[in-house]
């Protein structure tokens, strides 16, 4: 069996993104600056793009001085010494509160993601401002894929990634919020392992794995919001980040 070699590189040189910026143009310009010529990519290359720059380009910024805290937000903030406006910003993005304990807010967002603070983040944001998740990460990924394919004259896939915690393991990892151009899951059920045994429950979250791998070159403090993955063989498909959300009737912990 031939070796699989996957190449992952961070795309440096993308300037600070502000509302209204054309993010795909910024990415292509950075690629052109790196190569010194019109960039030539392998068909099937994958762009992993940090959620924060997508949100910024789409204007998903919230000024805290515009937020009026609810009584619930005021009570929670007082109890755990939080900014009530920040708490209210989280509640405003929330479909369901999963857990409010020890100063931690775990919620289910309107998209269906279960995460800390509903994805609301003050890091790498202008003072007094927080960044919200994109309204529709899959639609954002699909638009960026189409724009990049037109600009680069090459079939690509796009993953919009964000950093999530995990309930039973220490540390954070990147996951896929929005997906376009590939299936986020690889289903091995019905195939056989190296000993000839049939697989019954093996479905890999490949979009999450690609997002996590890309974070290794993007980092949190490097100022590199986009990574390019080449050499990962996949069949083009109309995937969706929603496919990664476990349905409530399959969730043993809900």
Q: Is 254 helix (H, G, I), strand (E, B) or coil?
A: coil
pLDDT for 132 equals 97
pLDDT single digits (tens) 58-75 = 999 999 999 999 999 999
Residue where a domain stops, chosen among 100, 115, 131: 131
pLDDT for 101 equals 86
Looking at residues 39-64, what average pLDDT do you find? Answer: 94
The vertex-148 CA angle with 142 and 151, nearest 5°, equals 145
Range of the domain at 204: 7-55+136-245
CATH number at residue 146: 3.30.1330.100
pLDDT for 191 equals 64
Kindly state the percentage of the chain with pLDDT values over 90.
Answer: 72
* 234 shares a domain with 163: yes
* 81 shares a domain with 142: no
pTM value surpassing 0.75: yes
In a domain, 2, yes or no: no
CATH number at residue 103: 3.90.1660.10
* 65 shares a domain with 39: no
pLDDT for 222 equals 83
Q: How many domains does the chain have?
A: 2
What are the helix (H) ranges across the chain?
23-35, 51-57, 71-80, 84-92, 137-152, 206-218
pLDDT single digits (tens) 21-35 = 999 999 999 999 887
């Amino acid at each position: 069996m031939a070796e699989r070699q996957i190449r992952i590189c961070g795309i440096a040189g993308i300037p600070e993104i502000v509302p209204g910026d054309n993010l795909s143009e910024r990415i292509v310009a950075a690629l052109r600056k790196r190569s010194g010529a019109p960039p030539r990519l392998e068909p099937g290359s994958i762009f992993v793009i940090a959620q924060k720059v997508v949100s910024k380009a789409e204007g998903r910024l919230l000024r805290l001085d515009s937020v009026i805290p609810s009584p619930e937000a005021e009570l929670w903030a007082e109890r755990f010494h939080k900014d009530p406006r920040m708490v209210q910003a989280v509640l405003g993005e929330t479909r369901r509160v999963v857990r409010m304990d020890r100063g931690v807010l775990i919620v289910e967002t309107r998209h269906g993601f279960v995460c800390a603070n509903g994805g609301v983040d003050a890091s790498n944001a202008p003072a007094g401002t927080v960044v919200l998740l994109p309204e529709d990460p899959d639609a954002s990924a699909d638009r960026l894929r189409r724009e990049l394919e037109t600009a680069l004259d090459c079939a690509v896939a796009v993953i919009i990634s964000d950093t999530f915690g995990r309930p039973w393991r220490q540390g954070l990892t990147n996951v896929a919020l929005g997906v376009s151009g590939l299936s986020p899951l690889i289903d091995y059920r019905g195939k056989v392992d190296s000993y000839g045994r049939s697989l019954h429950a093996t479905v890999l979250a490949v979009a999450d794995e690609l997002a996590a791998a890309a974070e290794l070159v993007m980092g949190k403090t490097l100022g590199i919001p986009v990574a390019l993955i080449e050499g990962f063989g996949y069949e083009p498909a109309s995937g969706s980040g929603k496919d990664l959300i476990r349905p409530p009737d399959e969730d043993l912990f809900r």
